[in-house]
Amino acid sequence: MGVLNEVLAANAEYVANFGDKGSLALPPARQFAVLTCMDARLDPAKYAGLSEGDAHVIRNAGGRASDDAIRSLVISYKLLGTKEFFVIHHSDCGMEFFTDEIMRGLLHSSLETAQLGAEGFVDVGQGPGSSEGAYIDWLTVSDRNGAVVDDVQRIRNHPLVPASIPIYGYVYDVATGSLLEVPEATKIGAAS
């Protein structure tokens, strides 16, 4: 059954202590949005000092400025009043450990979970796989700081993102908890 019972028990405890959170406003109180990675070691509420209702947190594999992430950022500012964006990647990101070609090959071989070894990811599953992975840009990362710069630049240059919104670029260090600025990204993301 996995973790279902644990999740439901945790939710019951959360509900018991929910208090007046049901009256939080729809727009984020601190008027900013964070685009970051889905990595379970990252807790944006803790590393950015957030409480419920403070900010929008958009997460995906790698914290990349995908079309869907940009869609969410546009909704965040246009409809809900955010005024600043943060792009926060992190050290030791799993997206650095494979390429599009490797992912496509793993999926083609089988749909079961691969294993990460000294030589990278290896498929240990039994087929069948699928060739559908060939049609997805996996947005892997070969240069962490460069990816932050690329993502900030993609957001800054998007025709639906106003120049008045500053976009900051950072890397979260999973070993120390520090946010490390990527100055080139923040420079590109400066508001005008």
**162 in any annotated domain:** yes
Task: Give the pLDDT of residue 118.
Answer: 87
Is the backbone peptide bond immediately before 128 cis, with ω within 30 degrees of 0?
A: yes
Question: Could you tell me the residue range of the domain that residue 129 belongs to?
Answer: 99-137
Q: What is the pLDDT of residue 82?
A: 98
Helices and strands in the chain, H and E counts: 6, 7
Tell me what pLDDT residue 119 has: 85
* pLDDT confidence of residue 1: 62
Does residue 35 fall inside a structural domain?
A: yes
Q: Residue 91: how many CB atoms within 10 A of its CB?
A: 15
Domain with 162 in it: what CATH number?
3.40.1050.10
In a shared domain, residues 82 and 153: yes
10-residue mean pLDDT series, the chain (192 residues): 92 96 96 98 97 98 98 98 98 95 96 91 92 97 98 98 98 98 98 96
How far, in Å, are 87, 90, 95, 169, 178 from residue 99 at the CA level? 21, 17, 8, 23, 27
Q: Does 192 lie in the same domain as 157?
A: yes
Rounded-to-integer distance, Cα 39 and Cα 14, Å: 23
| pLDDT for the residue 90 | 98
pLDDT for 133: 97
